[in-house]
Amino acid sequence: MQALYAQLLVGLINGSFYALLSLGLAVIFGMLNIINFAHGALYMMGAFCAYFLLHLTGLGYWPALIIAPIVVGIFGMILERTMLQWLTGLDHLYGLLLTFGIALIVQGVFQNYFGSSGLPYAIPDELKGGMNLGFMFLPIYRGWVVVFSLIVCIATWYLIEKTRLGANLRAATENPTLVRAFGINVPRMITLTYGLGVGLAALAGVLSAPINQVRPLMGADLIIVVFAVVVIGGMGSIMGSIITGFALGVIEGLTKYFYPEASNTVVFVLMVLVLLVKPTGLTGRAA
């Protein structure tokens, strides 16, 4: 029984990464209608950014948590301005193929320069060590990841669903021409939204740098699962992707305990089941 609690908690930790990443995807899909396959590569860039901040400028984990999402976010906005914006109104496939190509190029470039084994990044001193919870040894850093990503997820949800800015944004997706008539710069808003989604990916990258090796393919390994999370949660649904992210982390954690061989397929089995029963995803509305 104790072991089960431990697995639940570990699942929650992985779930926070799924939630952060799928949230970014949901924001981008919901507002821009782009299936952002470059998300994994941007997550990886966030981790690399943290590594370079530490080794080139001496800035540690805490500044990286703010700077890396901004730097990668700006990179994302450049992508949006120079390439993605021309795809507005076209079929989803175009966006998917373009971002997939971007991901391959970015990963290839990083792999060419840094190899596949990855680079080390240490846990910040303040978060080293762990506590004994009775049923498991919880590394403090992992606890921090869960709490912090939960806060970020809820803040993002609040920003989009409950503030004036978010309302404008949603309106701009619904009817861009009308919103423009109110004097709101819609293209700029779209660019900023893409930047926000990308920033969330980079943030997840920084969070994961001390846990995993900083590797060029770290995002490629994760992105497919995250897409499954988004599909299960309902494409474009903010709250849906947060909840599904955490829930799937837990389910995957339990699978790792009961039948570890299936742990990398369980998410997809669930995806198939959900699509059979409810094609729009758990919280999605019919288009």
Partner 1 sequence: MKQQISALLFGTALALCVTAAMAQDKNVKIGVLTDNSGLYSDLGGAGSTLAAQMAIEDSGLAAKGWKIDLISADHQNKPDIATTIARQWIDVEKVDILMDVLNSGVGLAINNLVKEKNAVMINTGAATSDLTNAQCSPNTVHWVYDTYMLANSTGQALVKAGGDTWYFLTADYAFGHALERDTTAVVVKSGGKVIGTVKHPLNSSDFSSFLLQAQASKAKIVGMANAGGDTTNTIKQASEFGIVAGGQKLAGLLLFITDVHSLGLKVAQGLTFTETFYWDLNDGTRAFSKRFSERMKNKAQPSMVQAGVYSGLIHYFKTLEAMGGNVHDGIKVVDKMKSLPTDDALFGKGSIRVDGRKIHPAYLFEVKKPEESKGPWDYYKLIGTTPGDQAFRPLSESACPLVKK
Residues contributing to the site for partner 1 (CB under 8 A): 2-3, 6-7, 10-11, 13-14, 108, 111-120, 122-123, 130, 136-137, 139, 141-142, 211-213, 215, 217-218, 221-222, 253, 256-257, 260-261, 263-264
Nearer CB in complex with partner 1: 14/283: 14
Task: Give min distance, CB of 111 to partner 1, in A.
Answer: 6
Distance CA 155, CA 81 (A): 26
Nearer CB in complex with partner 1: 88/116: 116
Nearer CB in complex with partner 1: 117/177: 117
Distance CA 100, CA 103 (A): 5
Q: Report yes or no: 23 and 242 within 8 Å, Cβ to Cβ.
A: yes
Nearer CB in complex with partner 1: 194/246: 246
Region at 58 (left for phi over 0; alpha for psi -120 to 50; beta for the rest)? left
Q: Report yes or no: 206 and 49 within 8 Å, Cβ to Cβ.
A: yes
Q: Report yes or no: 66 and 200 within 8 Å, Cβ to Cβ.
A: no
Task: Give min distance, CB of 71 to partner 1, in A.
Answer: 23
Task: Give min distance, CB of 121 to partner 1, in A.
Answer: 9
Residues 6+ apart with CB under 8 A from 34: 28, 84, 87, 92, 95, 99, 194
Neighbours of 3 (CB within 10 A): 10
Region at 62 (left for phi over 0; alpha for psi -120 to 50; beta for the rest)? alpha
Tokens of 280: 């729009």
What's the half-sphere exposure (Cβ side, CA atoms, 13 Å) at 163?
10
Residue 77 to residues 73, 126, 141, 187: CA-CA distances in angstroms?
Answer: 6, 33, 31, 11
Distance CA 34, CA 95 (A): 6
Task: Give min distance, CB of 25 to partner 1, in A.
Answer: 18
Task: Give min distance, CB of 14 to partner 1, in A.
Answer: 5
Nearer CB in complex with partner 1: 95/219: 219
Task: Give min distance, CB of 69 to partner 1, in A.
Answer: 20
Nearer CB in complex with partner 1: 18/194: 18
Nearer CB in complex with partner 1: 39/142: 142
Task: Give min distance, CB of 267 to partner 1, in A.
Answer: 12
